């Protein structure tokens, strides 16, 4: 396929899994299972009636960057094949999947076409590379999950790999496009009543504000993380817990 900066990106991924085709199909196609193997998906809700079939739609929430999306199954042939379309503000993605049962093992094939929106269209080649790596990692997690369940290993005996929060595509694109004269930052301005936020001397009560914010940080764990670059072969950059996080280093008063 001829490729250009503004054309659709297409990636293909494959893996073999030692489990019944029906189990593999349900773990991948029923999007309510996806948070179990895709660390970027935070929530998934089925908004159409059971069962999962052509026309089934899920409302999902991804981590930083993509936000909410709708995923619709357009073709279902359980347990052999399916087609689904995901739509969000950042991009649309059409995935075609096939499962071939070969003597107790299954070969799983995915073909995904990306249609980025807005400025992301200029970064189609980078999205292609990122999606290839991301789907490879997702399929490996599916393999681990399904093969453990198929072997009837008690859940308490299975050691879950540590979750790594990879930097999503929109953030990577912003970092790529950022320059010294064009910072890709997002700023918010809140207008509040100043009386509860000041002390008797009229100065900003920073200690009180920081204490209030610190007590609620577990509700927004991304605020406790920092950017960690990676080396060749280690995957895309990640968000990690900031070492030695100190609320006193955040926020100034004027």
Q: What pLDDT does residue 54 have?
A: 94
Separation CA 99–CA 80 (nearest Å): 5
Separation CA 74–CA 85 (nearest Å): 7
Q: What pLDDT does residue 6 have?
A: 45
Question: Where in the chain do CATH 3.30.530.20 domains reside?
Answer: 9-163
Q: What pLDDT does residue 226 have?
A: 82
pLDDT per 10-residue tile (average), the chain, 254 residues: 52 91 94 89 90 93 80 94 92 93 88 85 76 88 85 50 69 79 78 80 80 76 81 80 75 63
Separation CA 247–CA 210 (nearest Å): 6
Question: What number of residues does the chain have?
Answer: 254
Of 103, 99, 116, nearest to 10 (Cα)? 116
**Residue in this structure with the two tokens 């070492």, named with its chain if needed:** 243
Superfamily classification of domain 9-163: START domain (3.30.530.20)
What does 5-64 look like in DSSP terms, one character per residue?
TTSPEEEEEEEEESS-HHHHHHHHHSGGGGGGT-TTEEEEEE-S-SS--TT-EEEEEEST
| Residue 11 in tokens | 């990636």
| Residue 33 in tokens | 């299972």
Using one digit for the tens of pLDDT, what is the confidence trace for 31-64?
999 988 888 888 899 999 999 999 999 999 987 6
213-218 contacts: CB < 8 A, separation 24 or more?
213/247, 213/250, 213/251, 214/247, 217/247
Task: Provide the terminal-to-terminal Cα distance of the chain, rounded to the nearest Å.
Answer: 57
- The chain-wide mean pLDDT, for the chain, equals 81
pTM for this model (two decimals)? 0.58
**Alpha carbon distances (Å) from 232 to 12, 102, 226, 229, 236:** 22, 35, 20, 10, 9
| Residue 253 in tokens | 């008063």
Per the CB < 8 A criterion, the answer to whether 228 and 164 are in contact is no
**Alpha carbon distances (Å) from 9 to 12, 75, 98, 173, 206:** 10, 21, 19, 16, 48
| Residue 80 in tokens | 């052999």
Q: What pLDDT does residue 8 have?
A: 65
């Amino acid at each position: 396929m001829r490729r250009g900066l503004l054309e659709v990106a297409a990636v293909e991924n494959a893996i073999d899994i030692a489990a019944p085709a029906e189990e593999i199909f349900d773990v991948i196609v029923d999007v309510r299972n996806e948070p179990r193997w895709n660390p970027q998906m935070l929530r998934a809700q089925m908004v159409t009636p059971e069962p999962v079939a052509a026309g089934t739609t899920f409302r999902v929430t991804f981590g930083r960057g993509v936000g909410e999306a709708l995923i619709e199954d357009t073709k279902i042939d359980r347990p052999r094949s399916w087609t689904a379309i995901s739509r969000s503000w950042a991009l649309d993605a059409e995935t075609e999947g096939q499962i071939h049962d070969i003597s107790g093992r299954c070969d799983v094939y995915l073909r995904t076409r990306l249609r980025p929106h807005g400025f992301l269209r200029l970064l189609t080649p980078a999205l292609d590379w990122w999606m290839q790596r991301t789907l490879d990692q997702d399929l490996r997690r599916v393999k681990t999950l399904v093969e453990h369940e198929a072997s009837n290993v008690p859940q308490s005996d299975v050691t879950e790999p540590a979750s790594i929060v990879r930097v999503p595509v929109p953030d990577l694109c912003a970092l790529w496009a950022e320059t010294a004269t064009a910072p890709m930052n997002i700023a918010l301005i809140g207008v509040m009543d100043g009386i509860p936020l000041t002390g008797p001397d009229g100065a900003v009560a920073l200690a009180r504000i920081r204490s209030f914010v610190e007590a609620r940080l577990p509700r927004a764990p991304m605020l406790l993380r920092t950017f960690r670059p990676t080396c060749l072969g280690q995957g895309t950059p990640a968000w990690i817990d900031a070492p030695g996080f100190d609320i006193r280093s955040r926020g100034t008063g004027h």
